[in-house]
Amino acid sequence: MADKFSEADRPSVTWIEDTGITAVVRLDDLSSAQQLADALLLGGVRCVEFTLTNRHAIDVIGNLVASHGDRLLIGAGTVLDPESARAAITAGAQFVVTPTLRLSTIELCRRYGIAIICGAFSPTEILTAWEAGANWVKLFPASVGGPRYLREVLAPLPQVRIVPTGGVSLENAAEFLAAGAVALAVGSNLVKPELVNSGQWEAITQNARSFISIVVSNRRP
């Protein structure tokens, strides 16, 4: 799927669905962010979310936008409030992700024309986020109900574009796609801290290729 894009293409939030995989980077040490970005790109993953649980994440986002912004869609994750969203957007973040339903953050992102993937779990939260203007709804934690829960939620809410997050793995990715996910967000099952810490970039590239391959083989028409 990575071959669909040329080097001349500019990053777009449509890549979230077009490529189907967003890497969620939740690490204590982001000093190797450049190498990690290169490894993910080689594997076909063009969307990366850096969580604000690391206090250096906003600086890293700014640096990567400068160095990889022509090839990589870079977002801010674990955004808990509008102030954090604004700081990330100012640094160059091209999308914002919340772990929970945050209507004020949706409002801010809409004001600035920035895409938001808003976290939710219950059907009420999911529909509320969607009606408030979220571009996508992040089903989190997806591991709790699994693909069956996603399928049952989408039965009465087929219009909602859902991205499962939390517990998505190589073993269940195809099931989530079959259940109706429009894309997947993958954390430690893709960006394994032990691989990053030991600089095993080829292994991360291979993980990325494996996830992309599942998307290509199992995406709904």
Summarize pLDDT for 177-220 with one digit per residue, the tens: 999 999 999 999 999 999 999 999 999 999 999 999 999 999 86
pLDDT at residue 38 in the model? 98
Architecture of 17-216 per CATH?
Alpha-Beta Barrel (3.20)
Could you tell me the pTM of the whole model?
Answer: 0.94
CB-based contacts of 33: which residues, under 8 Å, 6+ apart? 25, 50, 60, 63, 64
Kindly list the catalytic residues.
Answer: 49, 138
Domain extents in the chain? 17-216
Per the structure block, which two tokens stand in for 189?
């099952």
pLDDT at 2 over 80: no
* Residue 221, pLDDT score: 64
Kind and range of the H or E element at 118? strand 115-120
pLDDT digits (tens, 9 = 90+) for 26-65: 999 999 999 999 999 999 999 999 999 999 999 999 999 9
pLDDT above 50 for 3:
no
